[in-house]
Structures are given as structure tokens and as C-alpha cells.
Amino acid sequence: MPDQEPGPLAGLRVLDLADETGAHAGRVLAELGADVVKVEPPGGEPARLRPPWYTGTDGVRRSIAWAAQNIGKRSICLPLDRPDGRERLLALVAEADILVETDGLGRMAARGLGHDVLRAANPRLVHTSITPYGSDGPYCDYTAADITLQAMGAHAYVTGDPDRPPLSIAAQVAYAHGGAEGAAASLVAHYESLASGSGQHVDVSIEQCVVWTLLNSTMTWQLAGRDDQRGGAYRKERGLDLVTRFVWECADGYVHFVPVGGGGGHARARSYDAMVRWMVESHFDDPILTRYDWNGEDANRLRQEDYDVLAAHIDEFLRSKTILELYDFAVRNRVLLAPAMSVQEILIDEHLRVRDVWRELRLPGVADPVRHPAPFARFTVTPLAPAGWVAEPGEHDGAVWERSSP
Amino acid sequence: MTATHDEVETETGAATAVRPEAWHPGGRRPVFAGLKVADFSWAAAAPIVTRFLSDYGATVVRVESRAHMDSVRFGGPFLDGVPDVNTSGFFAEFNAGKLGITLDMGNETARDVARRLIGWADVVTESFSPGVMDRWGLGWEDVHALNPSAVMVSSSMRGAHGPQSDYRGYGGQGAALAGMHLLTGWPDRNPAGPKGAYTDSIAPRYGLAALTAALIRRRRDGVGQYIEMSQVECALQFVTTELLDHQLTGAVAGPMGNASAHHAPHGMYPCLGDDRWIALAVESDEEWRRLRVAMGEPGWAADPDLATATGRLRRRDEVDRELSGWTATWEPYPLLTHLQRAGVRSGVAQKPSDLFDDPQLAHRGHFVDLDGGALGRVGYNASSFRLSATPGLPWRGTPDLGEHTTTVLTELLGYSAAEVEELARAGALH
């Protein structure tokens, strides 16, 4: 009965030894329907103590960051620093399809859990390491934080204001990239194992994940011989000389909008034309609006002084409008403009509500459920049924993967 | 790591349009060897998914149209700075290894070719605005009827249904809608937002996971299914902590520069040289002790008030100022080595150009030099993961617009040369 499968990965077994730097991988696999078992040291993993925290009605302080990355994972506690703990783990490895860890090959081997040991326990096993730089190489032992990885992967250098230091995104995005990549890569290797009957090692580098977020900056260096520069709300990108504005202030907040200077094309031309019509109707007409074929013939030879005149005019118009007015117009007229939404606005967004994006999440020590964004994909045959809970340390001790199970 | 590509050239004697079957880099068949992909996607997010499929062995036919060009072909950088649809490095990165064909989808005859392509494929991807494929008679119902074993993935900014499903946007707009702009900026300035079309860098990982999960599931009964995705909803996964935090504590995540609400010091600190900075994070009192040792135990840092996170957070500005005075006397890479020896979390704020000299990326074989069409030879990003037994790499550079139309139609879809000529005369291959 396909309708009752909790997603396409129903029946897949995952052992999750990852700390906060790779925990997102297990969450993605759990959401796709896998049975993910978190293996923690007795008492729970250190990441359960990481900020931010909430204090429950039971007076216990728990980690919100931990909860966010461990939704729907069962938990068992094993002392992997002791032979009996390792033996128990290897017995579980024998029954598992995927094992995810964040130590890398070297440290796993030093713990007596090297790839050869895992492979001996289960030749079909996909063993995935998610580490800052990869399991080997000159930086493999470098210690990192999310901000240092955003820096090494060069995304920070090209983000932020020109007169300030490079800027990081104030969320654990490098770890999330590594985790999402680790989930995808684990499945790629598992798919292969179904054909070959053999597992393998998957080695994810978070630095490389961050490099991918540059999208075209490495090409700009190679083809134009220059580094993209950070420009705050303004950017100088795609190898162009032009500094263009991306983030604009409106009456009650900010919007992301690239009226011209994005390289042109149908969608950009249509977006700009709709905005110009609105400006004209609102008596914000000006010859500069139509002086050039901004997103067509002239798209790649715009002059900065012309752009600046245009931008000043658009700026004045946007400041006269509210976020809701602008976004409503953008949705109806295919304008490439979006509000910079806050977490509160996201939580009450009508579109997300209608799409049934939110799932209830019950947390220990919290009377009423909170909401988390799920599912990230909609399947016709195997719809996802995201879990609405997180496990306390060792909550499923002794209750996983009995040998008699199918 | 470029050797693999060169071996392909040597073995076959010439660059070949269709990936040679003999290409078994790890002794085992590549993961997606034999997997056939009809790729109607465009822009960045969805083409990145099919780029991964190609790297790991799939035959990917990327369908484009001269009537409605992929906007990324208009995006620079361009070879020699001259805009040309065939020399965009932006486009090239996401399309290496694919076979490029052109079909004017407004033409019914072209849609017949698209139907034959869908019949050939295991996987169909598209990222048009919701409803476009349906209007062409190529929506999920049509695809499933044509080819019951095909897995189809549709992705768009806001998803296929809902009051804002008509909304059009790129990844920059997606980042704004997913709350990332307000997490990226200085508290005293306009938010900057992350560089690039940021959600285009997030969604492909979820797309690859979802698609591969469906392929795994398909092995059970051979029946395909439809996957619908929204780029913004993928990006919301990245801010789950912030969304929960607001509900549980009332906290509202906002721009805070490089500071952390919980740790100090935490930020980017100046070094010697032109726009040189090092990122550094102290996440515990023990790590603070290590940093003090690395700095040579300066007097200001010995203040017992700074021994705890509470004290360091309260006097964050002072700590940052003193620490900056010390880092500013160092070149960035020697300082990185020094801090790493001391066990301090640290990383240089590398420039994109630095990545080409990064010894770790070189060790990983991150940049792969490949020839492709009019763009010529350029370095492509390899995927961020390595598979020990069945490694994958981009194997061929980007296709020119319509470069493989005839090859694909005759060699993969079984059209005769005369039929291809007839299709061209009918305007189907524009």
C-alpha cells in the first residue's frame, strides 16, 4: 500500500553519529522516510547543550539548535569509547544501509571504527563522512566553525558592505550545506549499492559546499581576471563593471529587486516593463525609465551614470510603497521583486499556510506544539510524512532493529 | 584529477558527444551509468541537479530554445568580456557534460520530439513557471501516460500551487523570501543579503536527495512518480533553528554583522595585505584559553572577567578591538597556521581567486579543466563529495546552444537524417 509508506525511503536504515556540523543530513533522510537512529554517548551528545536554548515547563534547559536538526530521529546511547559499545554499534552497522559521521576517516579509525572495520561488519554499508575540509589533505585536521567555513569557501568575502569586513550569514548555513549535501551523496551511493551489492565511502567537504554557493565567482576570476567584490545592497557581479543595487528600502522594510543590470532576458524585461507601467500610472514617469532598452539590446553596455539616475528614481518610488503593496503587485505582474521576510512574517505567510508547509513539532517540556517547515518535496506515490517529535537521549535504547525484523 | 577526462579522449580517439560506455573510473560502473535524463530545466537550481547526475554517469539531454533563451546564457562572466550565448561561464558551470539540444516548444512538431525524448528518459526535470508544461501537453499526467516508469521533478520558486504560485523570481528573491536577507547585514545598515542567487545554491541538494530517493523507491516496482518542489521551502530548512527560536523564546533573528549572540570573540579580523581578513570563533572558555596562548598571553586578555563567555560577550567590542590589533600584525595564511596549531577555530576570508591556490581544494581535485564549445577550456567545480569506489567528475565542458541537436535526435531518439532536416524546416529545432 504505497499510500502508507512514510516517504520513498521507507525501510532504509541510517545510523547517525554526526554532531551539529552534519546533523542536518540525518534530518533530511528521516524526512524522506528513513529510520534514522542517532547514536549518542551516555547522557546525550554535547550538541544537546549548544545555544540557542529554551527552558521547558520541567525547568530543564534544552537546545533549540539541536531540536531543529534532529527532528524525527530515534536516539540510543552507546559508549563508543568502550569495546562493548563498539561491538553493539557494529551489530547495528550490520543491519544498517547508511552510517553518517562527522569525524572523518582518520578519527574514526583512531576510535577503532575505521572504514575497514565498518565494511567488515557490512560490505553493503554506505559510510558517509561530513567534515570541514574532507577526510584527507593538508587541512583535514583544521578546526572550524560555521563562520570560518563561510570564510574559507570565499562566500563571506563577496558578501557584505565594501567598507566593512567580509560578512557571514548569521545562521549555521555552512553546516546545513554540508548536511544537505551529505544526505544527497549518501543516497547516490546507496542507489549504486543496490545495483552493485557493495557499499563505499562518501567524503563530503563543507568548504567545497560553500565554494559552490559562489555560483559564478570562480568563473569570473578565470574569464575576467577579477574577484567579485562585496557591495552591500549594491553589487558588482558577473564580470560587469556596473555596480547595481539589489536591496532597496520601502515604506516599511526592504525588498530584493534587480530592475536592470541583471543581464537581460525575457523575464527581466517583462518584470521591468510592468514596474515602469506602474510607475507611470502613479505619476512617477521620467524619460530615464525608457531611455534605453535596459534589459534587451543595451543590457550589457549600461553606463554607471545612467544607471545611477535610474536607480535614484526607482528608489524614490519604492520608498513610497509598503512591502505588501510591492509584493502583491510583483506576484500579479511577474515582477522580480521580493520582500526581505522576517521569521515572524514567514510564520504567518498565507502562501505557506495554503501549501500546508508547517508540521506540528512536540518538544520535551513544551505544552503546545510549535511548527517546523516540512516537507521540502511533494511525492505523488510516496508522500512524505514528517515526524513531529525529537527524542530524549537514549529514548529508544534496546528498541532498534531486532534481528527478526524484515 | 583532470586525468580522467584526458583518458576518455585518449581511449576513444576523439571527443565524443555521448559519454563512452567504457568510462568506468573506479572499476565499478558509474552510479548513474545508463540513466537517461530529459532535462527541460533552466536557470541555475534545477540544472545543478542534472549537472550532478551527469558527473556521476547519466546521459543528460538539456533542452533549450532560441525562442525563449535560458536567462543564465545572458549572465556573465563571458569569455574575453564579450557577451555571447555560447561563452557565459555562469551558464557553463551548471551544464558541463550535458548534451545541448534546441526545440522551439511553441511549435507542435517540436513538442512531438519532446514526447519522444520523454519516452526515452528515466528522469524528466523542468523548472518552468507552474502550468507551462501542462499547457504544452507535457505535464505530469502526460509524462506518466507516455512513460509510466519516468520520475519527474518540477521545481519553481514558490511551488506549483498556492496563492503566490504565479510569483516569478530568481535565487536572490528566494533568499529574501526565506528570511536570509535579514540574517545577512550589519545592524546599523540596510541588510546586504547573501551574495549570489543564494537559494539556487540550497535547493539543488534537496532536489538531488529527493530525486535519488525516488529512483531508489522505483527499483521496487519500476513505477515512476512526480516530485514537486519549491525553492523557498527548501531554503526554509536552513533557518529551522531561527523559526523555532522565535516560537519558543520570542527571539527575532536579525542582522548582527559577524557577531554571535552566544560566543565571543566571533568575527572577521584584519590582517596585513589588501582587504585581508581572518575569521575566528571562540565557542568555549577552553577555546578562549587557547587563543590567549596563541596571542602570547597579552595583559588585556588575562582579565579574569574575560575568562567566561558572559564577560566576553559583555565586553565584546573591547575584545574585538584588542584582538584586531594583534591579528593586524599578521599575514593571513601564517596566522591561520599559527591559530590552527593552537587549536583555535579559524579560516582566512579567501577571495575567489585564492581558491585556485588553496592546497586543500587542489588535493581534492576541486577544479577540473575541461574543453567545451565556444567557451573553450576552463575550470569547473567538481562536486563537494567524493565516492571512494565510483567517483564522478564533470567529463566534458558546456555545450554550445543546440550543439547536439542532430546527434541526440539521430543517435538517441532514432530520427533519420532526412527527418531531422524536415523538423528543422518546420522550425521545430529553433
Q: Could you say which architecture CATH assigns to the domain A2-212+356-373?
A: 3-Layer(aba) Sandwich (3.40)
Contact B229, B210 (CB under 8 A): yes
Ordered structural domains, chain B, with CATH: 3-238+365-425 (3.40.50.10540), 266-354 (3.30.1540.10)
B31 in contact with chain A, both atoms CB, cutoff 8 A: yes
Positions of CATH 3.30.1540.10 in chain A: 228-345
Task: Pick the residue of A66, A191, A229 with the most B CBs within 10 A to test the interface with B by mutation.
Answer: A191
Closest B-chain CA to A250: B190
- The pLDDT tens digits of the residues spanning B334-364 come to 999 999 999 999 999 999 999 999 999 999 9
- The pLDDT tens digits of the residues spanning B200-230 come to 999 999 999 999 999 999 999 999 999 999 9
B71 to A219: CB separation less than 8 angstroms, yes or no: no
Give the residues of chain A that fall short of pLDDT 50: 1-2, 404-406
- The pLDDT tens digits of the residues spanning A110-158 come to 999 999 999 999 999 999 999 999 999 999 999 999 999 999 999 999 9
| pLDDT for residue B27 | 67
| CATH for A228-345 (2.40.340.10, 3.90.79.10, 1.10.260.40, 3.30.1540.10) | 3.30.1540.10
| pLDDT for residue B375 | 97
Mind telling me the catalytic residues of B?
200
B349 to A205: CB separation less than 8 angstroms, yes or no: no
The ipTM, to two decimals, is 0.96
Q: How far is CA B391 from the centre of its chain?
A: 18
The one-letter amino acid code at A108 reads M
- The pLDDT tens digits of the residues spanning B377-388 come to 999 999 999 999
**Going by DSSP bridges, is the β-strand pair B36-40/B266-270 parallel, antiparallel, or unpaired?**
unpaired
B81 in contact with chain A, both atoms CB, cutoff 8 A: yes
Q: What are phi and psi of B197, to 5 degrees?
A: -80, 80
CB nearest to A238's CB, from B77, B229, B388: B77
3-state SS record for chain B: CCHHHHHHHHHHCCCCCCCCCCCCCCCCCCCCCCCEEEEECCCCHHHHHHHHHHHCCCEEEEEECCCCCCHHHHCCCEHHHCCCCCCEHHHHHHHCCCEEEECCCCCHHHHHHHHHHHHHCCEEEECCCCCHHHHCCCCHHHHHHHCCCCEEEEEECCCCCCCCCCCCCCHHHHHHHCCCHHHCECCCCCECCCCCCCHHHHHHHHHHHHHHHHHHHHHHHCCCCEEEEEHHHHHHHHHHHHHHHHHHHCCCCCCCCCCCCCCCCEEEEECCCCCCEEEEECCCHHHHHHHHHHCCCCHHHHCHHHHCHHHHHHCHHHHHHHHHHHHCCCCHHHHHHHHHHCCCEEEECCCHHHHHHCHHHHHHCCEEEEEEHHHEEEEEECCCEEECCCCCCCCCCCCCCCCCHHHHHHHHCCCCHHHHHHHHHCCCCC
Contact A200, A193 (CB under 8 A): yes
Positions of CATH 3.40.50.10540 in chain A: 2-212+356-373
Task: Pick the residue of A3, A102, A237, A351 with the most B CBs within 10 A to test the interface with B by mutation.
Answer: A351
B7 has pLDDT over 60: no
A223 to B175: CB separation less than 8 angstroms, yes or no: no
Contact B364, A205 (CB under 8 A): yes
* B426 CA: distance to closest CA in chain A (Å): 24
